Amino acid sequence: MKFIKPTAAVEVTRPIDNARSSTEVTPSSDIGQALTAAEQGKLWATYLGNTMAHCVLTHMLLHVEDPIIKDILTQAHNVSNQFSQTTKDILMKEEFPVPIGFTEADLVKSAPRLFADEFYLHYLKYVGKAGLSMYSIAVPLVSRSDVRTFFTQCVTQTLELMNLVNEGLIAKGLMAKPPYTPYPERAEFIQKQSYLNGFFGDVRPLQAMEITHLYDNIENTATSKAVLIAFSQVANSEQAKAYFLRGKEIAEKHHAQFTRFLEKENLAAPPIIDHFVTTSTTSPFSDKLMLFHKLDMFTMRIRTYGNALSMSARHDIAAKYARFLIQVGDYVEDGANILIEHEWLEQPPQAADRDALAAKK
């Protein structure tokens, strides 16, 4: 059986080509058509997410010392600001109310650093996956050419940034690669229903796609847990602190159970990265921003768990994802209720309430 040979680490030397990947939109004959619900919703979410990212990345840039990591953070900060500005420009041309999003009021620049430099690369990979998911799904759903061009460029620039992040992780010796598995000896078809077994009977080894999604979700939960630890240390309200601590317990449980699947097959899993959180108890962000951040990322986890569930043929793995989806859904709903209670959750664009309109007559 043949095994893949690991490759050597590389240095980060390739910046994002902003000239080639500009977010400027090109004129088209369909500009002037009203924005569809898909275009409104995706632009709205893009603005909120990137104004939040501006605050988080600004805090990181105020404290980063490593020159390679600083360069990558700067690229990420610039890209995020470009996305926010282009989104704002499109909405303003439509005379569409620009969301409030997050502003300097949600950032405390005098706060001490909350994370070590190494964590910044893990964080960029964590949020970059979420961005890629949102932008790539937008492209086939939008019809107006300027909006479609914008989201296509969002995908391109985010992919380029993710390549820089991966190169940075490799250069710093921080990249925990997915496990290696032997090449199959030949192509063949599944012949027995036992291939789906997971709880009883003859249980086969994990297949490549199951390993892939387990690894991805272990990596995500490790970063999420570190963020939740940090937010729980600095939260201003007891309500927010309790919410973050509960999220930490969920992330910890999911990380442990996903890891167990790999360890049973003698496969390595990504490690926890809690040690990259400092001991600071002074918050660099508002509770509003931190609550929205975790609500947003746990919402994305529903998608990643759903994707993983669809790719997992073993009954035991599929059942685990299904159960975890319910836990994450409950957590997201509780977070939304906290934001609504404090009037911190902006309302997305929505369909007209025809019954309410009729009642006005």
Q: Which residues on adjacent β-strands are paired with residue 277?
A: 115
164 and 212 housed in the same domain: no
238 and 313 housed in the same domain: yes
Dist CA 195 CA 62 (whole Å): 52
Choosing from 152, 171, 190, the residue where a domain stops is 171
92 and 157 housed in the same domain: yes
Residue 304 inside a domain? The answer is yes
pLDDT in tens, 213-248: 999 999 999 999 999 999 999 999 999 999 999 999
State the CATH number of the domain containing residue 145.
Answer: 1.20.1260.10
Residue 236 inside a domain? The answer is yes
Residue 176 inside a domain? The answer is no
Count the domains in the chain. 2
Dist CA 55 CA 154 (whole Å): 19
87 and 145 housed in the same domain: yes
144 and 240 housed in the same domain: no
What percent of the chain is modeled with pLDDT above 90?
83
**Average pLDDT of the chain to the nearest whole number:** 91
What is residue 253's predicted lDDT score, i.e. its pLDDT? Answer: 97
Residue 334 inside a domain? The answer is yes
215 and 333 housed in the same domain: yes
pLDDT in tens, 84-109: 999 999 999 999 999 999 999 999 99
161 and 255 housed in the same domain: no
56 and 139 housed in the same domain: yes
Give CB contacts under 8 A, 24+ apart, made by 67-72.
68/12, 68/168, 68/171, 68/172, 69/117, 69/118, 69/120, 69/121, 69/168, 69/172, 71/12, 71/15, 72/12, 72/120, 72/121, 72/124, 72/161, 72/164, 72/165, 72/168
What is residue 201's predicted lDDT score, i.e. its pLDDT? Answer: 76
Residue 17 inside a domain? The answer is no
Dist CA 195 CA 207 (whole Å): 10
150 and 228 housed in the same domain: no
Residue 349 inside a domain? The answer is no
90 and 144 housed in the same domain: yes
Choosing from 150, 171, 192, the residue where a domain stops is 171
159 and 215 housed in the same domain: no
Q: Which residues on adjacent β-strands are paired with residue 115?
A: 277
Residue 7 inside a domain? The answer is no
Domain that holds residue 108: 37-171
164 and 231 housed in the same domain: no
**Does the pLDDT value for residue 1 go beyond 60?**
no
Residue 251 inside a domain? The answer is yes
pTM of the complete model: 0.89
What is residue 195's predicted lDDT score, i.e. its pLDDT? Answer: 86
Choosing from 124, 156, 171, the residue where a domain stops is 171
Residue 264's identity, in one-letter code, is K
- The mean pLDDT of 128-152, rounded to a whole number, is 95
